[in-house]
Structure formats: C-alpha cells, structure tokens
Amino acid sequence: MNNDSGPGRRRLRKNHPLVRRLRQIRKKHRKTLVDMEACMGLPFDTLKHMEEGIRPLPGIIGDQRTAIGPWMNLWMKCVEATANERDELQNMLVSLILGQWSDSE
C-alpha cells in the first residue's frame, strides 16, 4: 500500500516547482481557486488541495492514471495563460517527464 499523504509528501508536492509556478500564474491573472475549478469542472477544493500538497497533480506527482496534458491545457485555457507562460509550463512538463523517464531506467 502506497502512503502518499504523509506530511513529508505534502511538503514536497506543495513546494514542487511546477505547483509553485501554477499558483503564481493563477494569482498573477487574478483567478480564484473557485473560478478555476468552475471553469475546469472540478469539485470544490480540488485545486486548493493540489496547491497545498494534499492532493497530487494528475499524472505527474504521485501515482495517478490521469494524463497531465489535457488537464494542463484546460488549466492554461481557464487561467488565460499568455504564450510565454504556456511555453514555460510546457518546458517544465517536458523536463519533469524526461527526468522521471530517465530515473526509471
């Protein structure tokens, strides 16, 4: 059984560079968590729990089966990310995925 909810895991997820950058971009665009959840069709407090490290990002941090690509595209659409922000997030994702892939060899 994988215990993915301990305080050390939460701190790691909360301080993950991708999670921190998503939070910064959301706040820069003055989008509330409720605004984002409504736009993305997510249950109340889902994004709050992701930003606080209680819940992992889909498909990246933790043992999730949800693909990160479609989720991230919807997130960027709802936050109205700029082209530069989109490029930055996509580069972060590629680096993260390639890092995980090389770690698994």
Domains of the chain: which residue ranges?
A: 7-103
pTM of full prediction above 0.85: no
Encode the chain (105 residues) as per-residue pLDDT tens digits.
344 556 666 666 888 889 999 999 999 999 999 999 999 999 999 999 999 988 888 876 555 566 788 899 999 999 999 999 999 999 998 887 777 655 555
Tell me the CA end-to-end span of the chain in Å, nearest whole number: 23
Give me the phi and psi of 42, to 5 degrees please.
-100, 150
- The beta-strand segments (E) located in the chain are none
Q: State the fold for domain 7-103.
A: 434 Repressor (Amino-terminal Domain) (1.10.260)
Taking Cα atoms as reference points, which of 79, 96, 97, 77 lies closest to residue 23? 79
Helices (H) and strands (E) in the chain, counts: 6, 0
Q: For 46, list phi and psi in degrees, rounded to 5.
A: -60, -50
